Amino acid sequence: MATRNCLACERELTGEIVSLEHAIPQWLAKEIELPGVSLRHFVHDECKADDALIRSHQLNTFGSKKICRICNNGWMSSLESAAKPLILDLMHGRTSILALTDVARLTLSRWAVKTTFMIAVLQTIQYELPWTIFQMLGKRENDGPNGCFVFGTQQPGLPKGFLHTCLADLFSEGQFFQVRVGFSVHQLHFVVVIPIVKALRAVKTSGMVHVPLWPLDLRVLATYKKIPESFESSYRFNDYLTNLVEAGAVSKNGVHLEVIEANPAVAV
């Protein structure tokens, strides 16, 4: 039987040290979980009118047993403690995302990327994610999630609860290029771009919606789009917000972006 290793430190996952790492931590699940409402996973297909339901379960069971207790109770727990007051103030509107200090942006970005990796690994489609980025969060606790782009926004139109969508971008010849994960907790929404192929990237987003959080010196091509007045469902709103962040590989001439296409999304 093949051995399994912790995704965060590569220790062998024996029965004594394996643990359940929740994609949404228990303290946050208690804040956003809605009584009688289950977490539903869909596959979105642009060619079909309706999304296909994959599974349904409670929010507190949305997790992975691919993390060891040492990492779960160590640097991951410390990161949760540092990010908790920031997240609570932002999701309840007590603080503006525009007013965050560089230190707060660093902490929030580390937490968003840690959460994004846990969301991505729980998808039906398994991608070759750059786990070294995830592992460096534990090895260098004062460094940011280098290699990823992180954006955030506060949107009163989002419902209480948890939503996420996971989009895989492809090069025109079909090669997976990156994963873009958008998720919201209450009215706080994040978009994280995880690279699969190493390449110089240019990032474009709506200057009226998202705030770049990481890298701290990220330069973004700004577009201006008015948010529609209504959406047919809350997860369509989540998809829309996620798709406002676009990233492409810069070609040899330094100007043209590779054509990338969205893979069918998994949305909750």
For 235-244, what is the mean pLDDT? 89
Say what percent of the chain tops pLDDT 70.
Answer: 77
The span from the CA of 153 to the CA of 187, in Å, is: 8
For the ranges 10-24, 97-111, 116-130, which has the lowest average pLDDT?
10-24
The span from the CA of 266 to the CA of 112, in Å, is: 18
Confidence label for 13 from pLDDT (cuts 50, 70 and 90) = confident
Hey, which of 22-31, 65-74, 100-109, 224-233 has the most confident mean pLDDT?
A: 100-109
The DSSP element (H or E) to which 78 belongs, if any, is helix 75-91
215 preceded by cis ω (within 30°)?
yes
What is the pTM (predicted TM-score) of this model? 0.83
Q: What is the pLDDT of residues 67-92, one digit of tens each?
A: 899 999 899 999 999 999 999 999 99
Confidence label for 32 from pLDDT (cuts 50, 70 and 90) = confident
The span from the CA of 82 to the CA of 203, in Å, is: 28
For 93-101, what is the mean pLDDT? 95
Pairing of strands 246-249, 201-206: antiparallel
Question: Are 180 and 187 in contact, with CB atoms under 8 Å apart?
Answer: no
In sequence order, the 6+-apart residues with CB closer than 8 A to the CB of 147 are 130, 133, 195
Confidence label for 221 from pLDDT (cuts 50, 70 and 90) = confident
More confident residue, 120 or 267: 120
Q: At residue 20, does pLDDT exceed 60?
A: yes
More confident residue, 86 or 227: 86
Which long-range CB contacts under 8 A does 250-254 form with residues at least 24 apart? 250/199, 250/200, 250/201, 250/202
For the ranges 42-46, 127-131, 201-205, which has the lowest average pLDDT?
42-46
More confident residue, 105 or 119: 105
End-to-end CA distance of the chain: 34
Pairing of strands 63-68, 149-154: unpaired
Q: At residue 44, does pLDDT exceed 70?
A: no
Q: What is the pLDDT of residues 163-195, one digit of tens each?
A: 888 888 887 667 788 999 999 988 999 999 999
